[in-house]
Amino acid sequence: MPRLRNDPIPGRSTSGEAAVRGIALASLGYFIITGADAAVKYALPEIGVAGAMLWRGVVGAAAVALIARGRGLWPRNTRLVLGRSFLHCSVSALWYVVWLAGLGLADSYAVAAAAPLLMTLLAIPMLGEAVGWRRWISCLLGFSGVLFMLQPGGDLWRWEVAVLLVAVVGVAVSRIWTRTLASTDTAATIAFWLMLMHIPLGLALLPVTALWPEGRAPNLFPSWPLLLLLVFFGVSNAVAHLLFARPMR
């Protein structure tokens, strides 16, 4: 029997099924990245910001390459892949700085909750997407929730939060660029170059001793328990960013 024009193509999901699968993948990615964030926050006083960048880059890039079996890692949209990777790595460095300064994980996540709202707004000029009244109402409600968590004028408002707000803008732009890259590059390509970009940025940060507690150099090779935690940190980041990129496709 011939397939009708509106029949679903065999082997492909409907848009609703694809959306649910994408949400599930992204949710799993956020669950994994939370564990990675807790691990690096614990290790930061010992390894410093540069150490976190280097371990994330080396272990994360190796993990992506192994998962992808070394295939399909070369970018097609080279300029955007590298630009997005540099932006995201810069955001990571800012996040590590505020964690090292003592900002709590829960407080930083409260600030990060503004990222989806910014993505909705930026998707209009950057992607040409239309935002209907339902989404605008959702954005307003979401922004109210962010303000409730941040408590304007409260103890949470200090210089670390100002730095994180800059980082959140970078996160929103980076995720929109991920959406753009999904039409040209694979999830493995996007994740691999993101991880790899952490290495040169980490090396560039090594001489900046002001980022370490009491101005001391970071210990890049701490005790074995902490090394295992850093391996978990790198692998978790690799898997999470593979999961983040997949729903965009």
For the record, the structure tokens of 3 come out as: 């397939």
Residue 3 included in any domain: no
d(CA 156, CA 108): 10
Residues 141-187 have pLDDT tens digits of 777 776 676 665 556 677 888 888 889 888 888 888 888 898 899 99
Residues 8-56 have pLDDT tens digits of 333 344 467 777 887 788 788 889 999 999 999 999 989 989 999 999 9
Residue 174: closest CA among 65, 98, 95: 95
Residues 55-105 have pLDDT tens digits of 999 999 999 999 999 888 999 999 999 999 999 999 999 999 999 888 888
pTM flag (> 0.95): no
Residue 188 included in any domain: yes
For the record, the structure tokens of 166 come out as: 């800059």
Number of domains in the chain: 1
- Angle (CA) 166-33-157 rounded to 5° is 35
Residues 193-223 have pLDDT tens digits of 999 999 999 999 988 765 666 566 778 888 8
- Angle (CA) 160-194-229 rounded to 5° is 70
pLDDT at 105: 86
102 contacts: CB under 8 Å, gap ≥ 6: 160
Residue 117 included in any domain: yes
Domain span at residue 82? 18-248
pLDDT at 239: 95
d(CA 225, CA 213): 21
Residue 208 included in any domain: yes
pLDDT at 24: 86
Mapped onto helix, strand or coil, the DSSP state of residue 8 is coil
d(CA 167, CA 92): 8
Residue 201: closest CA among 38, 39, 60, 51: 51
pLDDT at 110: 78
